[in-house]
Amino acid sequence: MPEDMQMPALPPYRTWHRGGDRPVLALHCSLAHAGAWSGLAAALHGVTITATDAPGHGRAPDWLADSDMHSLATAQSIAMVESLGAGAAIDLISHSFGGTVALRIAVTRPDLVRSLTLIEPVIFAAARAVDAAAFQHFRDEHLEFGALVAAGDLEAAAAMFHAHWGSGERLADLPERTRAYMVDRIHLIVAQNPTLLDDAAGILRPGGLERVAAPVLLIEGAQSPAIIDTLHRALALRLPQCSRLIVPEAGHMVAISHAAQIAPSVQAHLDRC
């Protein structure tokens, strides 16, 4: 499968040519990199898929702690969309943190979005609207993880995070290179809290999601943390053209672990748009 790694002024990115010129931008989850889309890209056709490295990930420069990580990722993604589409709307496929960036683009720049595939976009603040108690319980637990990061116990923080949001194995059982990559970047999870827990970016602003005209496919793993179903229910209530896909025996890493299983639904979604 053709694959090129390029590093222009835009964020580092990879491109997969899958038999068509229709541009698709793919935005990965936290603690991953652009290559995380290799499996799904291999199963799609009729498109050219570009995946960027988020700030502090892959080949991107380190994130500067005095900057707004989510705003930086969004600005870089908008620049890439404008470059790929030459001003026209394109398709966005996204996972977890990347899903929140894609959703923010759809709210603030709907003219750039032809369709959205959101794989467990972790805009946790959305859950408050349908189950405030469940949201508060999750928020308290998530802040306990943040306390480990603040205390400098990065290994324990990464192990706790991976136990909830990983692909099933223990952090200690991952290859050393993968484990080190995650531990070195675990502070980036805490950097997202203002947006993901408190919606500092205004993604959930009144009337914002309701004005997203692009068709949306929400994908989740049946074994993902319960907060995902809660926030997906909240998003589905507000997005005008939204359908949901729940993947049996999959967890939060469904975009990678079950790429072949979700590919037909993602392809059908693209074909309809």
pLDDT in tens, 113-129: 999 999 999 999 999 99
The CATH number of domain 3-131+200-272, selected from 3.40.50.300, 3.40.50.1820, 3.30.530.20, 3.30.70.60: 3.40.50.1820
Domain ranges of the chain: 3-131+200-272
Instruction: Kindly state the average pLDDT of the residues 177-191.
Output: 95
- pLDDT, tens digit, for every residue of 205-218? 999 999 999 999 99
> What pTM, to 2 d.p., does this model score?
0.95
| Cα distances (angstroms) measured from residue 198 to each of 73, 117, 131, 202 | 18, 23, 15, 9
Q: Does residue 77 register a pLDDT over 80? A: yes
Instruction: Kindly state the average pLDDT of the residues 68-79.
Output: 94
For residue 9, the model assigns a pLDDT of 60
Burial class (CB in 10 A: 0-12, 13-18, 19+), 6: exposed
Q: Does residue 185 register a pLDDT over 60? A: yes
